[in-house]
Structure 1
Amino acid sequence: MKLLVTGGAGFIGSAVVRLAISRGHHVVNVDALTYAACLDNVASVAESPLYTFEKADIRDRAAMDRILAAHEPDAIMHLAAESHVDRSIDGPGTFIDTNVTGTYTLLEAARSYWVGKGRPAGFRFHHISTDEVYGTLGETGLFTEETPYAPNSPYSASKAASDHLVRAWHETYGLPVVLTNCSNNYGPFHFPEKLIPVVILNALAGRPIPVYGKGENVRDWLFVEDHADALLLVCEKGELGRSYNIGGNNERRNIDLVRTICALLDERRPDGAPHDRLIEFVTDRPGHDLRYAIDATRITEELGWSPSVTVEEGLAKTVDWYLENEDWWRALQARDGVGERLGKAG
């Protein structure tokens, strides 16, 4: 299969690219190389005859038309998006522009390409989204595919809008689509502005480890390589027009997650122990959702997928990766906003 992956130089996208090529798929990586993208993420496959890179913006219709015509993919896996909630609080316009307008532009290019090819039955437009579109949960309950959308941040609202566009293009124009909504990802190559890499890198540097509020917000943590496996499965075998929730079955309070990482670092870098002395509770972000948790029954029952990595295993792998790949993360620390407190606007 030939896959066109948008955002393939990002965190999740690069995991998809690496896994797809390891399984013998041809991959066209389309990425605009904005601040969170890094071609080092795909360096391990860059010389493969199965890999092609196209620097292009999904908002550029002419570029999308050209790339689709040149490469003739069997499926589009759409991961390109602005994704950090704190950045969306400070600058929501970029999120609307990329996540909503960009998805619209890509949908129209995909529709034109699909129609021009004679509407091949095997074509797929796979839209990758987030559980944040569902809003927040109380202490109990899980998000299912039928949970009403109730986004609470500019980021999640922009992703909700893009989800609705994809569904509309399926219902109105017959575009063959599948959708997925995932829980919080973590693992190697995670851009160093997100919680887990921030904890690791601040602890290594002896800097305060910021934790929002009292650290009681709960997330369901999904190892990125498990997620990539699920995405390829849905792209190949998911039912058209259907959405699939992908979760890690690994709920943790933020404070417990942070303390687990500190304990892992205590074992590996005892000179800095105890690292949890660096924890500093900071003013919560505006509109911070209390809890996300995924019910992944549909993808398990219909497609046979389930996560293979527990959060304890995944965190150990992640900490070890950051310790072994200092050149990668040091090169990113000078990028815009990394290491700064974002999302304080009220």
Structure 2
Amino acid sequence: MKLLLTGSTGWLGRHLAPLLEASDHSVLGLDVAPGPFTHVIGTVADRALIDRTFADHGIEAVIHAGALHKPDIARFPRQAFIDTNVTGTLNLLEAAVAAGHDRFVMTSTTSLMISQAIRDEASPKAVWLDEDHGPLAPRNIYGVTKLAAEGLCRQFALETGLNCIVLRTSRFFPEDDDTLSDPPPENLKANEFLHRRLTVEDTARAHLVALEKAADVGFGLYIVSALSPFARSDCAALKRDAAAVIRQHFPDAADLYASRGWRLPQQIGRVYDASRIERDLGFRCETDFAAVLEALRSGTAMPFAHDGGFRSPSLDGRALIEGARR
């Protein structure tokens, strides 16, 4: 199948493109900055470019992984998020329908599920987040525009019959957190596998499965995250003493962490439930918190990437992103 992959220069794109090609798909990458898997330099907000790309390359399906992300809030005005994340998604959906496509996969984010109250951890217990959680009240322009893009996918599936799968991915970025510095980055990433992280490799695999299963689903929206060891019944205890709950599930976790100079989280304020995608699509992340502990136990490398110097393609594609507003 000839696929258009947007965001092909980004962290996900550079892992997803070779996986798709290894599965006998032909991938045409589109991004605002050059990369080894990017063939078309441009923005999804440019409708003429999208139409030309579809016409010139015989695109048969779309995986839409390109977007402005939360760290871009400090770099771009709100309008740039609307142009890229909303108008860009609309451009791709309309082009896909016009081309007679039967499947469309979009990368979304669990970030849009986090209201300011959840972010502030105002609840006396951890918030259990699954696909039925609501009402949704995104706390920033990133979440607002990704929620709008999800709505477009839902509407197109309903009105045109285009099979759309939206993947709300939890954290898989390699760089340091742009707001948290304690605990240190690798310790923080390891902790997050308990409740809100997955590897980029698992993220890529989820997109391949979604592409393969889209025609059987119609419209589907799924949280994609490493499966948490916790249950809803743990939520109060997670807010009160998360380390104690973790030790119940993993008795040697504290000692393994201490051997590396790491700390277990004392509180966990939210948990993403990724069980629905396993039930519906048969997908489950290969790397979880148990794999992190096994790496500590065996002295092998961590099963996740950390790159504090990772450079977002949006920095190199600033002129194209800003030019879409002119």
Q: TM-score, structure 1 length as denominator? A: 0.65
Q: Percent identity?
A: 27
Q: Distance in 2 between matches of 1:295 and 1:28?
A: 33
Provide structure 2 residue ranges, at least 5 long, that are not aligned to the other structure: 231-237, 244-252, 317-326
Match of 2:204 in 1: 228
Q: How does 1:217-296 map to 2 (within 5 A)?
A: 220-238=196-214, 239-250=217-228, 291-296=269-274
Q: Distance in 1 between matches of 2:48 and 2:197?
A: 38
In the superposition, relative to structure 1, how do residues 88 and 158 fare at CA in structure 2: closer, same or farther (>3 Å)? farther
In the superposition, relative to structure 1, how do residues 198 and 7 fare at CA in structure 2: closer, same or farther (>3 Å)? farther
Q: Distance in 2 between matches of 1:249 and 1:330?
A: 26
Amino acid at match of 1:155: Y
Q: Distance in 2 between matches of 1:197 and 1:318?
A: 18
Q: Distance in 1 between matches of 2:113 and 2:96?
A: 27
In the superposition, relative to structure 1, how do residues 20 and 150 fare at CA in structure 2: closer, same or farther (>3 Å)? same
Q: Distance in 1 between matches of 2:73 and 2:89?
A: 19
Secondary structure of 2:12's partner? helix
Provide structure 1 residue ranges, at least 5 long, that are not aligned to the other structure: 47-51, 115-119, 268-273, 277-289, 337-346
Report the CA distance between 1:88 and its aligned residue: 5.5
Contact kept, 8 Å, 1:85 with 1:155, in 2: the verdict is no
Match of 2:83 in 1: 97
Report the CA distance between 1:111 and its aligned residue: 2.1
Amino acid at match of 2:225: G
Match of 1:180 in 2: 167
Contact kept, 8 Å, 1:220 with 1:251, in 2: the verdict is no
Secondary structure of 1:316's partner? coil
| Counterpart selection for 2:51 from 42, 46, 65 | 65
Amino acid at match of 1:8: S
Match of 2:105 in 1: 126
| Counterpart selection for 1:164 from 147, 151, 155 | 151
Q: Distance in 1 between matches of 2:219 and 2:131?
A: 12
Q: Distance in 2 between matches of 1:197 and 1:5?
A: 31
Pair 1:83 & 2:69 matched: yes
Q: How does 1:309-320 map to 2 (within 5 A)?
A: 309-311=287-289, 312=292, 313=295, 316-318=302-304
Contact kept, 8 Å, 2:224 with 2:274, in 1: the verdict is yes
Report the CA distance between 1:57 and its aligned residue: 1.2
Report the CA distance between 1:146 and its aligned residue: 2.0
Contact kept, 8 Å, 2:126 with 2:270, in 1: the verdict is no
Match of 2:114 in 1: 135
Match of 1:8 in 2: 8
Contact kept, 8 Å, 1:131 with 1:292, in 2: the verdict is no
Amino acid at match of 2:27: V
Secondary structure of 1:221's partner? coil
Q: Distance in 1 between matches of 2:150 and 2:311?
A: 34
Report the CA distance between 1:108 and its aligned residue: 1.9
Q: How does 1:99-118 map to 2 (within 5 A)?
A: 99-114=85-100
Match of 2:137 in 1: 150
Contact kept, 8 Å, 2:199 with 2:304, in 1: the verdict is no
In the superposition, relative to structure 1, how do residues 143 and 315 fare at CA in structure 2: closer, same or farther (>3 Å)? farther
In the superposition, relative to structure 1, how do residues 5 and 331 fare at CA in structure 2: closer, same or farther (>3 Å)? closer
Contact kept, 8 Å, 2:106 with 2:166, in 1: the verdict is yes
The superposition leaves residues 199-224 of structure 1 with CA deviations (integer Å, 9 ceiling, x where unpaired) of: 99x989xxxx9x9xxx99x9511111
In the superposition, relative to structure 1, how do residues 8 and 197 fare at CA in structure 2: closer, same or farther (>3 Å)? farther
Amino acid at match of 2:15: A
Q: TM-score, structure 2 length as denominator? A: 0.68
In the superposition, relative to structure 1, how do residues 181 and 331 fare at CA in structure 2: closer, same or farther (>3 Å)? closer
In the superposition, relative to structure 1, how do residues 90 and 225 fare at CA in structure 2: closer, same or farther (>3 Å)? same
The superposition leaves residues 290-333 of structure 1 with CA deviations (integer Å, 9 ceiling, x where unpaired) of: 844322222111221111112425981446x75xxx9xx48889
Report the CA distance between 1:86 and its aligned residue: 6.4
Q: Distance in 2 between matches of 1:184 and 1:291?
A: 15
Secondary structure of 1:142's partner? strand
Contact kept, 8 Å, 2:162 with 2:218, in 1: the verdict is no
The superposition leaves residues 130-182 of structure 1 with CA deviations (integer Å, 9 ceiling, x where unpaired) of: 11222245433432222222211111111111111111122223322221111
